[in-house]
Amino acid sequence: MKSSTWLPVLEQLAKGELISGSQLGANLSVSRAAVWQRVEYLKSIGVDIQASDLGYRLSHAVYLPDPATIQDHVGIEVDLSPEVCSTNTLVLESRAERCLMTLYQNQGRGRRGSRWIAAPGDALMFSVGTWLDCGIQDLAGLSIEVGVAICQVLNGLGVNACLKWPNDLWVDERKLAGLLMELQGDQDRTFVVIGLGLNLWPTSGVNASTTSIVEVSNHVWTDQDTGSLINALCSAINNYTRRTPQDRIERYNAVSLLNGREINVIAGSTQISGIAHGIDEFGRLCVLTHAGAEYVSAGDVSVRPR
C-alpha cells in the first residue's frame, strides 16, 4: 500500500484520541471499508491500533516529524519520505549532501547485516550524507565520534545514554539507538553516510534487551530535538579530522558503557575476553586480557551483567 494512502490515517490518529470509522472516512473522503483496509495495513507494519465499536485509536500518541519545522533548526537539506527501503541506501545512492527521514523502512539495515525494525511513529529514523575532503583511511573512528555526540545531546535532554562500542547507544543495560556508517570514496575525498535509529516507544516483536525514550525519561520528543540530533551528527562528521586523538579519547571515556567492565568480543573467527580499557587514537577498542592488551577495530561485544 502506498504511503499516500496510509499516512493520512496515521496523521488522524497520531494524538492517540478515539476517532470513529465514519468520522475518519469523512475526514479523508473515503468509505469506511477503505478506512478499515488502511488500518489493517498499518497494523500489519507494527502500528498498535485498537479497534472497537466506537472507532479506532492508537495505544499511544506517535511522533510524526515535520520536515519544514526541522529545516528551520538545521543547516542541511531535510527530506521526508514516509516509507522507503532504507534511508542509508537511498542517501548513499544519491551521493547528495542531505538528511533523509522516514517513518518506515521495509528493508531497514543495522550493523553487520541485521535488520532495524520499527513501526511508523515509534522511532526516529534518518540518514545524513555529506562529503569530506579526506580519504577513507582517515575516518577509522568516525562512527564512535558520532555516537559520542548523540549521547551528549540525549544526556542534555535528561536521557542517561551511554555508548556501547562501537556504535550502539544504551540506557540501563538496554539498547536505545543504533548507528550505521557507510563510506564511499578514495584517498582524497569520501562520501559519508550515517544512519540513526532511535526508539521513541517500545517496539513489539523485538527482544527485551531494547528500551525507548518514553521508558527512560519523561521527555516528550519534538522536532527541535530531532534538529539537535541532526546538527550534532553533522558537526561530529565535519569536525572529526580537526579534533586531536586525545580529545576523541576523552570524549569517548565520558560516555562509555564498557570502560572497566568484563566483556567478550567476537571479531570474525576470533573471540577475546577481558576488561574494556577505552579506545586508542584510531577508535579501536582496547581489551586487557591475561596475555596483555589487545586492540579490536570491529566486532560484536557482549557485556557481563554488573
Q: Distance between CA atoms of 51 and 39, rounded to whole angstroms?
A: 9
Q: Is 20 in the same domain as 158?
A: no
Name residues whose C-beta falls within 8 Å of residue 148's C-beta, 6 or more positions apart in sequence: 163, 236, 248, 251, 252, 254, 255
Tell me the CATH number at 194.
Answer: 3.30.930.10
Q: Is 50 in the same domain as 80?
A: no
Tell me the CATH number at 49.
Answer: 1.10.10.10
Nearest to 104, CA basis, from 89, 129, 85, 128? 85
Which residue among 41, 58, 75 closes a domain? 58
Mean confidence (pLDDT) of the chain: 93
Q: Is 288 in the same domain as 234?
A: no
Q: Give the model's pLDDT for residue 206.
A: 56
Q: Distance between CA atoms of 107 and 98, rounded to whole angstroms?
A: 20
For the entire predicted model, the pTM comes to: 0.92
Q: What is the mean pLDDT of residues 140-152?
A: 96
Q: What is the mean pLDDT of residues 238-256?
A: 96
Tell me the CATH number at 275.
Answer: 2.30.30.100
Q: Is 78 in the same domain as 52?
A: no
Q: Is 105 in the same domain as 243?
A: yes
Q: Distance between CA atoms of 53 and 208, rounded to whole angstroms?
A: 33
Which residue among 214, 230, 253 closes a domain? 253
E-strand ranges in the chain read 49-52, 55-58, 78-80, 83-84, 98-102, 104-105, 123-132, 162-164, 168-171, 174-185, 190-199, 262-267, 270-279, 285-289, 292-296, 300-303
Q: What is the mean pLDDT of residues 86-105?
A: 96
Q: Is 234 in the same domain as 273?
A: no
Give me the count of residues in the chain: 306
Partners of 125 in beta bridges: 102, 197
Nearest to 233, CA basis, from 115, 151, 291? 151
Residue span of the structural domain in which 284 resides: 259-303
Which residue among 36, 58, 80 closes a domain? 58
Q: Is 171 in the same domain as 37?
A: no
Number of domains in the chain: 3
Q: Is 90 in the same domain as 152?
A: yes
Q: Is 166 in the same domain as 221?
A: yes
Q: Is 144 in the same domain as 237?
A: yes
Q: Give the model's pLDDT for residue 116.
A: 60
pLDDT over 80 at 210, yes or no: yes
Model pLDDT for residues 5-52, shown as the tens digit of each residue? 999 999 999 999 999 999 999 999 999 999 999 999 999 999 999 999
Q: Is 160 in the same domain as 218?
A: yes
Q: What is the mean pLDDT of residues 179-206?
A: 89
Q: Is 40 in the same domain as 99?
A: no
